[in-house]
Structure 1
Amino acid sequence: MTIYLSTVIDTPGAFGEAERVRSAEDCALVVDDGVIVARLDAAEAADRFPEHEVVDLRDGILFPGLVDTHVHFPQVRAIGGLGMPLLEWLERCALPEEVRLSDVDYARAVAGDFVRGLVDAGTTTALVFGSHFPDAVDALFATASEVGVRVTSGLVVSDRILPEQLLVTPERAASASAALADRWHGEGRLRYAVTPRFSLSASDDMLAACGGVADDLWFTSHVNENPTEIVEVGRLFPEADRYVDTYDRHGLLDERSVLAHNVHPTAAELGVLSERGTAVAHCPTSNFSLGSGLFPLREHLEAGVRVALGSDVGAGTGFSILQEGLQAYFGQRLLGPEGRPLAPADLLHLATRSGAEALGLAETVGDLSVGREFDAIWVRPPGGGTLRRLVDSAVDADDAVAKIFAVAGPSDIAAVWVGGDRVSGATSESTRGSMTEATPKRRTN
């Protein structure tokens, strides 16, 4: 067993249930075989486990690992294409880059960049839009497995509108997706998601083929991101009542489904998503950079639709889910009385437990309670920097969380664990010892 000694901050329970974060200084998380088996005060841990190894992390804060519910593996090198709406950005920036992943060596290099980007930003679990090419999807899964992160992903399929190199017949899409799912779904921390790009590029026959392979797998796609896109989907699917219905009529929406964006939903669509248990990935920096609009969070929550955060790299501006939380906060402020004010506890929940719930992992990760696997990030700003001074002067845990969301970036995340395995960062030998050697070290403000 290993004992992690730190200030521990998390948000167990339902979104909005608690006004404040749960926080404990000198908290001892006892981890055995990757699972938290006890959560104790440091003094009690010293009495019960005097000789077990302790990793002293009290010079920082432990959060649960961050969860990204929408991010594009092939678009790492497309970040920064500003000044364009969605469809123009796809044509000029994203799709040419995605074509390049037909070269498997290039795909492997991008997979390395992508997974390292996730981990460096503190993301331990991600629902990932894969590639249009099976070999590239293999490269992503292999890299994620090697590093140890939790990834749900799949082959992206389309049969119209996109560049010819990215198109596939419904029959080939179904067979290739099934083969990849057989190879990777349930392999370690990996799962498979059936992934039509969006209804704009996936015909009714393609969506029907996706429905044929989606049993017991995950499903993800895009919906209601851009007004021009929505109008065109309506034209292409005259028999469907609304955008959401293009997926629902093929049985693709249930509690294992996550749809990205949904910036412009109708009340009827929110009702369908709520009834099906489908979650929505809110991607603020992408919505802002593409000018897609302000996300109606209050409407989603009042309809009973679950919401989590996504970085949407590469329309999004980076991998940091902390910064997505900050931008979500700004968006709701700009909506005024129509927005849903977000407290620090809400931001942390959206970045952690909300994502775990959306991905069906709430009993495994998302907070640092007993019984959860030890997915955690150590937020330890470098000494002498602005964030370090802000955190050291915080009046309470909620104030510290607010300052971290406002200022923190990947450089402030000193270490990352997934299932008890350290996947990023180095804890020095000086932080290791036994509980009998650990002295009280409470932070003072």
Structure 2
Amino acid sequence: MTLYRATVIDTPANPFTSDAGTALRVEQDGGVLVHDGRIAERGTFVSLQAAHPDEDVVDLSGGMLLPGFVDTHVHFPQTRVIGGLGMPLLEWLDKCALPEEARFAEPEYAAAVAREFLGQLVRGGTTSALVFGAHFESAMDELFTAAGNVGLNLTAGLVVSDRILREELLYTPAQAQAASQRLIDRWHGQGRMRYAVTPRFSLSAGDDMLKVCGQLLADNPGVWFTSHINENRAEIATVAELFGTTDYLESYARHGLVTDRSVFAHNVHPSDAELTAMAAAGSWTAHCPTSNASLGSGLFPLGRHVEHGVGVSLGSDVGGGTGLFLLKEGLQAYFMQQLLGTDGRPGGTGYELTPTHLLYLATAAGAAALGLFDRVGDLSVGKDFDAVWLRPDEGTSLAVNLANSADAADALARVFALATANDVAGVWLAGRQLS
């Protein structure tokens, strides 16, 4: 066993449904006892050391120890096209994302990017992720192989489409079903890996393709589902025309794809009816604030999601987003709600986010969205020791501000405002330190 000494901060309770002031758990001189990759005991360092005087001690004093971050929407094949600014979604896809994604037909290229992608996730403190995969079966084998070597808590799947996109990215429904099932059989449940049925979006996946996706979800208990919804107004209008409905969610619902194993990315422009249906099904929204801002998609209606009871987590959405450091997404989420207005003025629809909300969104919310909250998301006894240690270099702006913070919540606010991936001093996956 190993005893870690640190300032330990997490959110075992949901601040959106409970008192945000009590949802934050803090131990200034805390101890976490880890046995075989899981948290065996937690308390003050003094009490745990007294009870286990012979165990090895890892001193993480300074900075703070947080649960590993959970990214619920990130594109594996887009890490080399970050920064395509000045374009709305559909133009950006056509000029930046899709030409790059076509290169993943070559397994060696996919393998190289997979190593880069996973390395960047871990260096940024992300220990669990719902990954939008590639359009090629061989590329998905490379991603799963690399993730198994790293030990990341990975849920991912082959991206399937049958229209509109570049021809080399398309499948027939029968081809999509066969390739997806082969990947499920090879990889789902291997180590910390799971499969997610992944049509790109209803724009590029017609009824026949979505029917196949529904069949895959029904035939394979425990697999997840993810896709895009209501990201961009031009996209929404085209989906309505293609499916003959003004309700984007209906294109998925008619094929059994709106469930408590479903995570929909973006949902910037939902109707009340869609939010009601998502809440009833237990589906989640992956909020991707930097991408929504950089592509001009809109300001995310977090308050409406909360009012309807729809769970919200965070996604980096690389490469529409601007990097894989999830705390930056938390800060941008805060900015968006401020812009919507949280002070009660007429028309203000923003949600008043606290540092506790931001930490929850970056950790426990994602774990709950992925059905993993019994294993990760906070640093409670019995869970995997997936953790990130933030400790800035002496003299940096973050170090100065942490030294002058009033309390843990104030320190968290400064972390979200100032931290970068360079402040990540250690990352553990199921008790194994990777950086």
Pairwise TM-score range, normalised by the shorter structure: over 0.9
More off after superposition, 192-201 vs 41-50: 41-50
In structure 1, what is the Cα distance between the partners aligned to 2:411 and 2:9? 10
- Which residue among 46, 63, 66 is the counterpart of 1:60? 63
In structure 1, what is the Cα distance between the partners aligned to 2:120 and 2:15? 27
In structure 2, what is the Cα distance between the partners aligned to 1:352 and 1:124? 10
Q: Is the 8 A contact 1:18 1:345 kept in 2?
A: no
- Which residue among 121, 142, 154 is the counterpart of 1:118? 121
- One-letter amino acid of the counterpart of residue 287, structure 1: N
C-alpha displacement of 1:82: 0.2
List per-residue Cα deviations over 1:175-221 (Å, max 9, x = no partner): 00000001000000000000000000001000001111112210000
- Which residue among 235, 243, 260 is the counterpart of 2:241? 235
1:219 is matched with 225
2:338 is matched with 333
C-alpha displacement of 1:25: 1.3
| Secondary structure class of the residue paired with 1:77 | coil
| Secondary structure class of the residue paired with 2:9 | strand
Runs of 4+ in 1 over 3 A off after TM superposition: none
1:30 equivalent in alignment to 2:41: no
In structure 2, what is the Cα distance between the partners aligned to 1:207 and 1:15? 35
C-alpha displacement of 1:109: 0.6
1:282 is matched with 287
User: What is the aligned-residue RMSD (CA, Å)?
Assistant: 0.8
**TM-score for both structures, normalised by structure 2:** 0.96
List per-residue Cα deviations over 1:218-237 (Å, max 9, x = no partner): 00000000000000000000
Q: Aligned ranges for residues 234-383 of structure 1 at < 5 Å?
A: 234-238=240-244, 240-336=245-341, 337-383=348-394
- One-letter amino acid of the counterpart of residue 206, structure 2: S
Q: Which runs of 5+ in 1 are unaligned?
A: 426-445
**TM-score for both structures, normalised by structure 1:** 0.94
- One-letter amino acid of the counterpart of residue 82, structure 1: L
Q: Aligned ranges for residues 39-50 of structure 1 at < 5 Å?
A: 39-50=42-53
In structure 2, what is the Cα distance between the partners aligned to 1:213 and 1:343? 39
Q: Is the 8 A contact 2:126 2:326 kept in 1?
A: yes
- One-letter amino acid of the counterpart of residue 13, structure 2: G
Q: Does 1 or 2 have the higher relative contact order (CA < 8 Å, sep 6+)?
A: 1
In structure 1, what is the Cα distance between the partners aligned to 2:280 and 2:28? 41
- One-letter amino acid of the counterpart of residue 358, structure 2: L
1:88 is matched with 91
1:10 equivalent in alignment to 2:31: no
- One-letter amino acid of the counterpart of residue 302, structure 1: E
Counting matched residue pairs gives 423
Identity of aligned residues (%): 57
C-alpha displacement of 1:46: 2.0
1:183 is matched with 186
Q: Which runs of 5+ in 2 are unaligned?
A: 342-347
| Secondary structure class of the residue paired with 1:31 | strand
- One-letter amino acid of the counterpart of residue 122, structure 2: V
Q: Is the 8 A contact 1:211 1:251 kept in 2?
A: yes
- One-letter amino acid of the counterpart of residue 413, structure 2: A
C-alpha displacement of 1:60: 2.1
In structure 1, what is the Cα distance between the partners aligned to 2:52 and 2:89? 55
- One-letter amino acid of the counterpart of residue 221, structure 1: S
1:414 equivalent in alignment to 2:425: yes
Q: Aligned ranges for residues 165-204 of structure 1 at < 5 Å?
A: 165-204=168-207
